[in-house]
Structure 1
Amino acid sequence: MSEDVPLKDALGFALDEARMILPGVQALFGFQLIAVFNQRFEEVLDAPGRALFLAALVSIAVSCALLMAPAAYHRQVERGRVSRHLLELASRFIAWALYALMVAIAFDVYLVAQVVTGSPSVALALAALCLALCLGLWYVLPWARARALSRG
């Protein structure tokens, strides 16, 4: 059973969702920054590995920016008001942030698994598994449920 909520409440839910995801993204971003300054960083990762690490770091930064964007937009454009446009914008930003986070997690899992196991195939399999899990839980499951609800 579900019920419609007022626009103000729906926007509050969206902003709360962004606030719930953001600390995890920021923590991952912090760990990424710390890793670069570790003495073993250059030893453990070759040039392609460091490039993939940088791609993961940028992806996390993009995720962080997207999660913060709805609040920044609201403060500057719709201060003291709520609109359907803001709700849609916030929802899109959160969805895009999760895509970026999913990519970063997969890259990080690949790199760590490569270092731990020494096997590119095992690392790729684990990264693909994590990517599939995130994609399934964050996008496929909600899409399937929304589709089922829309059919009645």
Structure 2
Amino acid sequence: MQEQVEKESLKEQMGRIIEEARMLLPGIQALFGFQTIAVFNEPFKKLPMLVQDCHVAALALVVVAIALVMLPAAYHRQAEPFHVSRRATSLSSRCICYALAPLAAAISLDVFVVLQMVTGDTTLAAIGGGSAFVLLISVWFGYPQLMRYKLARSS
């Protein structure tokens, strides 16, 4: 059975990209806020330096994700303010997609930090953080790429 497919105009594509960025941004900002507050809590200061370093790395990765998610709006408003181009939609789409990689890494590092703090077991924390990373990368990149491949083969 052939699935019905419809092309979007550049304007519709850009609108959808901006909507996707609007959906991602509040979650990323909330994560950034919690990450920032964590360092001021007394138990955080008692964590091993490796765990604190992982938290700082996660914070830096969230900043990268925020920059990538915000880039489409900044680019559109400054570089091409009065029209929508294929270049703008392509750049914007890639930026939002690329933002998911550092976000997955940041979330995984934070899972490691939380599990280390709760259990005190570095091995368990590493397994939990690694598992979170594999899950997020599989769902955010693996599955979409698999479907892209299958759809390309079927057409």
What whole-Å deviation, never above 9, does each CA across 1:57-95 have from its counterpart, x for those lacking one?
Answer: 000111111100110000001102001111111111111
The Cα of 1:39 is off from its aligned counterpart by: 2.5
Alpha-carbon distance between aligned partners in 2 of 1:67 and 1:124, rounded to the nearest angstrom: 28
* Partner residue, 1:97: 99
What whole-Å deviation, never above 9, does each CA across 1:19-49 have from its counterpart, x for those lacking one?
Answer: 1011000000000111111222211x22111
* Partner residue, 2:9: 6
- If the length of structure 2 is used for normalisation, what is the TM-score? 0.94
Q: 1:130 and 2:132 equivalent?
A: yes
Alpha-carbon distance between aligned partners in 1 of 2:52 and 2:122, rounded to the nearest angstrom: 15
How many aligned positions are there? 151
Alpha-carbon distance between aligned partners in 2 of 1:120 and 1:95, rounded to the nearest angstrom: 31
Q: Which of 17, 22, 46 is the equivalent residue of 2:20?
A: 17
SS at 2:83 equivalent: coil
Alpha-carbon distance between aligned partners in 2 of 1:23 and 1:63, rounded to the nearest angstrom: 12
* Partner residue, 1:36: 39
The Cα of 1:96 is off from its aligned counterpart by: 1.5
* Partner residue, 2:144: 142
Question: Which aligned segments of 4 or more residues in structure 1 are displaced greater than 6 angstroms?
Answer: none
Task: Pick which of 123-132 and 100-109 moved more.
Answer: 123-132
Alpha-carbon distance between aligned partners in 2 of 1:122 and 1:53, rounded to the nearest angstrom: 17
What letter is aligned with 2:107? I
- If the length of structure 1 is used for normalisation, what is the TM-score? 0.96
In structure 1, runs of 5+ residues without a counterpart are none
